[in-house]
Amino acid sequence: MKQLFAAMQFMTRLPVPASWTADLPVDSYARGIFWLPVVGLMVGVLCALVFDLAQHWFGIPMAALLTVVANGLVTGAFHLDGMADTCDGIFSARKRERMLEIMRDSRIGTNGALALIFAVALRMAAIMALSQDMMGAIPFIVCAPVVSRALVSLLMYRQHYAREEGMGNVFIGKISGSGFVLTLLVGVLLTLAIAGLTGVAAALVVCALAFGYRAKINHTLGGQTGDTLGCGIELFEWLFFLAALGLAR
């Protein structure tokens, strides 16, 4: 259970006392990779509750916005920050070393700002569109964080860390083959149970796109970083919404 608490501390702002993971070795974080989809489930359930309550009080458009806000609050906007930094870096048209420097800069640039706007807008639009479908948006709101946390293992397994040090180094290149497979399996089973075959099909579409994202980052930066992990989680979530929307139509 300590590995679950560590994953919650690493990926969310959910209150977990520091004493619960105080004596957990750093290498245990990578061994507990299979808990990430479960942490995603926690995030998804909280966001779905916000959407369900808000749509009755304020209507679907406002509910979609509040769902995006809830996601940012629960995660501390950690992944959005990673997306903004990654886009500022890789779209700067600089050399690799300079890209990594830009990604470390706490200031946000034009590319990062546009990425945040697009991410929020696409997520809201997809949630509003899915709410009109027979299945509704709630199963996909729950599963989007599950799928994204499962697929982020693709950016960790047998990957090279692009920096000499950093938080991402806890996972990148450190997870085992069995942990990788188990993480994907947990993600698939949770998605199947909540969103059915449509959810699993959407997850497979995102999985195929995730390989393309991984290849692009590896080619551009020479490996993954904590920022590219965060960007991947955010990217995979709204791609899942879009894939689900396309399959549900």
Closest to 132 in 3D by CA, of 236, 47, 61, 194: 61
pLDDT value of residue 31 = 84
- In terms of Cα–Cα distance, which of 109, 90, 137, 122 is closest to 231? 90
Residue 224, SS3 per DSSP = strand
Taking phi first (over 0 means left), then psi (-120 to 50 degrees means alpha), and beta for anything else, what does residue 59 get? left
pLDDT of residue 205: 97
Where residue 84 falls among pLDDT bands split at 50, 70, 90? very high
pLDDT tens for 94-110 read: 898 899 999 988 888 89
Which residues contact residue 98 at a Cβ distance below 8 angstroms, ignoring those fewer than 6 apart? 92
Indicate the domain borders of the chain.
Answer: 37-52+77-160+169-248
The pLDDT assigned to 2 comes to: 76
C-beta of residue 31 within 8 angstroms of C-beta of residue 179: yes
User: For the stretch 88-119, what's the b/e string if a residue is b when 16 or more beta carbons lie within 10 angstroms of its beta carbon?
Assistant: bbbbbeeeeeebbebbeeeeebebbeebbeeb
- If you average pLDDT over residues 10-26, what whole number do you get? 78
Mean pLDDT of 70-80: 92
- What is the number of residues in the chain? 249
Mean local confidence (pLDDT), 4-31: 79
pLDDT at position 165 is: 65
Facing residues of 161 across strands? 224
Residue 236 has pLDDT above 80, yes or no: yes
Range 23-29 average pLDDT: 73
Closest listed residue to residue 237, CA positions, set 105, 89, 67, 87 = 67
Q: Is 161 helix (H, G, I), strand (E, B) or coil?
A: strand
Q: Is the separation of the CB atoms in 224 and 243 below 8 Å?
A: no
Share of the chain above pLDDT 90, in %: 67
Average pLDDT (170-186) is 93
Residue 208 dihedral angles phi and psi, to the nearest 5°: -60, -40
DSSP 21: S
- Higher per-residue pLDDT: 143 or 173: 143
